[in-house]
C-alpha cells in the first residue's frame, strides 16, 4: 500500500553536502560515513551506527528492561503448547472483539509497551513505518512484502488489547 502526498516544489534551497570519503568507506543514506572494516578472519564487522545515525541495540547489556524481556520470552516459551494454542484459537478465533482499520491499529500501538522489545526509545508506529519503507526501498516490486512489513507488529496490538485488557 502506497500513500501519495502532493508536496510543493521549492527548488534547491540547500547546498548539496559534499562528503569526502575514502574508497574503503561506506556512505549511508543519512550521510554517515561508516568505515568498511573486515575482521581478521575476512568476515564483515557490524558498524557502530545504522543508516539513521543511531547505535544498534546491545542485547548483552544488563538492565532492568533486559530482565523484563527475558521473563516475557520465558513465559511465551512455556505457553507454546498445542493445548494453549487451541484454547486461544477458540477464545479469539471468532474475530468478534473489535473492528478497526489497519491505520487505527498502528496508531493505537503507540500506547503499547512491548515486553519483548529491549529498545523503547522509538514509538511503535515509527518502527512500523521505517520497516515498511526500508522493505519498499529494497524490494520495490513486492507490494505484499511492504504491507507485511507495515503490519508485522499487529500481533502485539492483538496480544495487548485483546488478551491483557479483556
Which residues are part of a known binding site? 127, 152
For 80, 159, 162, the CA distances from 76, given in Å and listed in that order, are 6, 12, 16
* The pLDDT of residue 13 is above 70: no
Burial (Cβ within 10 Å: 0-12, 13-18, ≥19) of residue 13: exposed
Q: Specify the long-range contacts of residues 158-161, CB closer than 8 Å, at least 24 apart.
A: 158/92, 160/112, 161/98, 161/108, 161/112
pLDDT value for 29: 53
Burial (Cβ within 10 Å: 0-12, 13-18, ≥19) of residue 124: buried
Tell me the per-residue pLDDT of 37-54, one tens digit each, with 9 for 90 and over.
545 555 656 667 666 666
pLDDT value for 14: 47
- Looking at the chain, the whole-number percentage of residues with pLDDT higher than 90 is 4
Alpha-carbon distance of 55 to 48, in angstroms, equals: 6
Tell me the per-residue pLDDT of 88-98, one tens digit each, with 9 for 90 and over.
888 877 877 77
Which residues are part of a known binding site for Fe cation? 127, 152
Whether 48 and 34 have beta carbons less than 8 Å apart is answered as: yes
pLDDT value for 90: 87
Amino acid at each position: 500500500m502506497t500513500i501519495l502526498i502532493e508536496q510543493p516544489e521549492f527548488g534547491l534551497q540547500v547546498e548539496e553536502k559534499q562528503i569526502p570519503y575514502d574508497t574503503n568507506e561506506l556512505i549511508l543514506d543519512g550521510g554517515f560515513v561508516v568505515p568498511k572494516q573486515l575482521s581478521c578472519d575476512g568476515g564483515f564487522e557490524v558498524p557502530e551506527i545504522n543508516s539513521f545515525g543511531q547505535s544498534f541495540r546491545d542485547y548483552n547489556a544488563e538492565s532492568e528492561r533486559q530482565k523484563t524481556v527475558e521473563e516475557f520470552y520465558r513465559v511465551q516459551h512455556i505457553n507454546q503448547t498445542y493445548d494453549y494454542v487451541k484454547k486461544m484459537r477458540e477464545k479469539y478465533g471468532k474475530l468478534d472483539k473489535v473492528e478497526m482499520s489497519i491505520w487505527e491499529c498502528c496508531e493505537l500501538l503507540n500506547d503499547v509497551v512491548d515486553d519483548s522489545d529491549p529498545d523503547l526509545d522509538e514509538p511503535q508506529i515509527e518502527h512500523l513505518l521505517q520497516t515498511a519503507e526500508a522493505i519498499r526501498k529494497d524490494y520495490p516490486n513486492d507490494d505484499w512484502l511492504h504491507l507485511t512489513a507495515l503490519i508485522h507488529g499487529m500481533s502485539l496490538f492483538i496480544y495487548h488489547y485483546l488478551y491483557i485488557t479483556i
